[in-house]
Structure 1
Amino acid sequence: MKNLSYLFLLLALIAEVLGTIGGFGSSVFFVPVANFYFDFESVLGLTAIYHLSSNLSKIVLFKKGLDKKLLLNIGLPSVLFVIVGGLLTKVFNNQYLELLLGIFLVVLALVFLIKSKLVITPNKRNAIIGGGLSGFSAGLMGTGGAIRGLTMAAFNLEKNAFIATSAFIDFLIDFSRTFVYYYNGFIHNHDLIYVPFLLVIGFVGTAIGKKILKYIPQDKFKKLSLTLILLIGLMTLINVIVKN
């Protein structure tokens, strides 16, 4: 127990709460935070395991809002491409992946915050493309919730439906990439001490986030999510600069 970082566990809880409120899942916040404490390979392995619990709790708490059509159109390509992205992590340098993640999140958030009227056409084709890109990003960089969230935002889902559908897709992604990361050797025995705590945090953080979400108006929902993504993208870039 003395080897545990309690500050990291506290930050993981905050990431889970923010991930629930933002609707994009906790990995978009958890991955950059974990980068301060672990090597990038360990971050990917821990994220996949932790996120399984995180998304399972969201499915249980928000299950009445599930959109089955989007689940199929976005979920299937997500699962296929998360495997591709996960396998490619062995090819690229971890430092470049972290830098790419930070730049991607910042640019994505700024574009949609500045161009607030810019929307993705809500059709099957874009749902499939968004799902594929989301899965590929999740496998390669550890998080793809931002892409999936922006794709789903085009369909103007009610908050509960948004979170339930996103969590179910994310659960399928994490289930698939856990096996890929294990194959890659990213799940390390010395990191497993954190897993029981992270599983509990996944449920507790989701429950707290759900309560807070009740007080957030629907029209503020998308802007809040994008602002959170921008902040975490900047945090990721700062982390890369500090390491070098």
Structure 2
Amino acid sequence: MDYIIVSIVALLGSGLTFFSGFGLGTLLMPVFALFFPIDIAIALTAIVHLLNNLFKLTLVGKKANIKTVLRFGLPAILFAFLGAYTLGKLTNLEPVFTYQFFDKSYQITVIKICISVLLIFFSLFDLIPKLKRLEFDTKYLPFGGALSGFFGGMSGHQGALRTAFLIRAQLSKEAFIATGVVIACFIDVSRIAVYAKDILELGNQLNYTMLGLATAMAFIGAYIGNKFLKKITINTIQIVVGVLLIVFALLLGIGVL
């Protein structure tokens, strides 16, 4: 059942990325977190996210706007390292609070609180109409890149902010999608470089079959998204994702997950 859940989420999340500019990491990270510690779930999501973005790069990469990529992407790379480094520091902190419920012990940790707050914050971009329409002037692109990169490195949930900034860059739909993919690749490479040591140390503890399956299904979702799903509205899907993220974030924050 766990393989089926991960496969479905990877497929749908990857397909939706073509509409919203984000979706795979937002959907896949909570599912991975059901089977792995939260820091490992983030790292595994980053791997799938990067491989999927590299695949999408072969589909739409030629239409990316290089000027926007540089103005937004370079600050994103630098701050993605900082975000991933911050994640590592928070992971090593002692639990803030431990409690018992029905003879089972739960821990509230700093990293879970941080990720929980981030999940709730980014879910608002799916639920609140004003935030859905949030846009920023193009002169703020470097700042947007820094902000997006930091949160991308820390939690993987940088897509909503990236979309909010890039939507004002006066790009065509194809260029908007392609530019977002290139920048996402930059951020993924940066944070995986930081996660690599911890991932290698885990070795056999990782479920490589699940990781490979999630990647393969994400490829299929990207292909379908590029070929058949460009005209489908994602408003309803965004609302569902936003609600589920809030529920997961609350459970994560109180230590249940």
- How high is the TM-score relative to the length of structure 2? 0.80
Confirm whether residue 98 of structure 1 aligns to residue 115 of structure 2: yes
> Which of the residues 230, 241, 246 maps onto 1:234?
246
Deviation of the 1:118 alpha carbon: 4.7
Q: How does 1:1-244 map to 2 (within 5 A)?
A: 5-92=3-90, 93-111=110-128, 113-114=129-130, 118-123=134-139, 126-183=140-197, 185-186=198-199, 188-189=202-203, 190-191=205-206, 192-216=208-232, 227=239, 230-240=242-252, 243=256
Alignment partner of 1:49: what SS?
helix
Deviation per CA, 1:166-196: give whole Å up to 9, x if none.
111111111121120123x145322233232
Deviation of the 1:18 alpha carbon: 2.0
Contact 1:20–1:206 (CA<8 Å) still a contact in 2?
A: yes
- State the alpha-carbon separation in 2 of the partners of residues 224 and 64 from structure 1: 30
- State the alpha-carbon separation in 2 of the partners of residues 225 and 132 from structure 1: 28
Deviation per CA, 1:122-176: give whole Å up to 9, x if none.
22xx100110011100111122111111111122432221111111111111112
- State the alpha-carbon separation in 2 of the partners of residues 34 and 26 from structure 1: 12
Change (3 A) 1:117 1:160: closer
Alignment partner of 2:42: what SS?
helix
Q: Which moved more, 1:128-137 or 1:192-201?
A: 192-201
> May I ask how many residue pairs the two structures share in their alignment?
234
Letter of the structure 1 residue corresponding to residue 210 of structure 2: Y
Q: Work out which of the two has the higher radius of gyration on C-alpha atoms and give 1 or 2.
A: 2
- State the alpha-carbon separation in 1 of the partners of residues 33 and 62 from structure 2: 34
Deviation of the 1:32 alpha carbon: 2.3
Alignment partner of 2:138: what SS?
coil
- State the alpha-carbon separation in 2 of the partners of residues 133 and 168 from structure 1: 17
Name structure 2 gaps, 5 residues minimum: 91-109
- State the alpha-carbon separation in 1 of the partners of residues 23 and 144 from structure 2: 16
- State the alpha-carbon separation in 1 of the partners of residues 238 and 172 from structure 2: 17
Change (3 A) 1:140 1:57: same
Deviation of the 1:116 alpha carbon: 6.2
